[in-house]
Amino acid sequence: MRGAADGLGTPFPLGEQLPSVYADDDFAQRFVTGLDDLFAPMFSVLDNLADYLRPELAPPDFVGWLGGWVGAELSGDESDPDLRAAVSGAAGLHRYRGTVHGLAEAVRLGFGIQPEIHESGGMAWSGRPLGPLPGEPEPALVVRLTKEQARAVDLDRLRALVAAIRPAHVPYSIVVEKS
């Protein structure tokens, strides 16, 4: 958690910036030294703000908050490298949300696996009207895992991720291959 940083100096000591009439005033100098101690952590954060907004450089307790800010799908028990990777990729995933590519990338970022994904939708182009509709009539989404992949992930967490990422009107299932 953010807090006081003992011994952290300020690049702009207030005592040096007071009018000369206060240069020798002991009370005024002690008072502004207390303010220097108060403002030093704030100046440090502002000086390093760009690094706070980069998940690979931000302090560990700040990365989770940043993940909520960019809409990362987090469970709260990710390891530090996995958390940083998920937060780093979250903003780019919004462009692909609801697509097979977006779901595959979210699963890869969240679990480090690449499942096989089948969805019933489709797209086609025709130069003539009233052509056949692509895809299947009933919407469906199937995420297939090998036995090795299923052992390496928390299936409840995977279900929650797929439920959050998929299009709301599409039912889904997670299938573990038997072989």
**What is the tens place of the pLDDT at every residue in 30-64?**
999 888 888 888 888 888 889 989 999 998 888 98
What are the CA-CA distances from residue 11 to residues 16, 41, 177 (Å)?
Answer: 11, 11, 61
Structure tokens at 50: 């760009």
Query: What does the pLDDT read at residue 175?
Result: 93
**95-111 pLDDT tens trace:** 888 889 999 998 888 88
Structure tokens at 26: 């002991």
Query: Does pLDDT of 5 surpass 70?
Result: no
Query: Does pLDDT of 91 surpass 60?
Result: yes
Phi, psi of 103 (to 5 degrees): -65, -45
Query: What does the pLDDT read at residue 179?
Result: 66
- Band (29; pLDDT cuts 50, 70, 90): very high
Residues 6+ apart with CB under 8 A from 104: 114, 115, 117
Nearest to 18 by CA among 6, 4, 5, 36: 36
- Band (93; pLDDT cuts 50, 70, 90): confident
DSSP 21: G
Q: Which sign does the torsion angle of CA 103, 104, 107, 108 carry?
A: negative
Report the 10 Å Cβ neighbour count for 8. Answer: 12
Q: What type of residue sits at position 60?
A: P
Domain range annotation of the chain: 14-47, 115-179
Query: Does pLDDT of 25 surpass 60?
Result: yes
Rounded to an integer, the average pLDDT of 62-67 is 90
Judge whether 60 and 80 are in contact, CB under 8 Å: yes
Task: Note the pTM of the prediction, 2 decimals.
Answer: 0.63
Whole-number Å distance between alpha carbons of 55 and 67: 9
- Band (144; pLDDT cuts 50, 70, 90): very high
For residues 2 and 94, the model is more confident at: 94
- Based on the number of CB atoms within 10 Å of its own CB, is 157 exposed (0-12), middle (13-18) or buried (19 or more)? middle
Whole-number Å distance between alpha carbons of 60 and 75: 15
Query: What does the pLDDT read at residue 4?
Result: 60
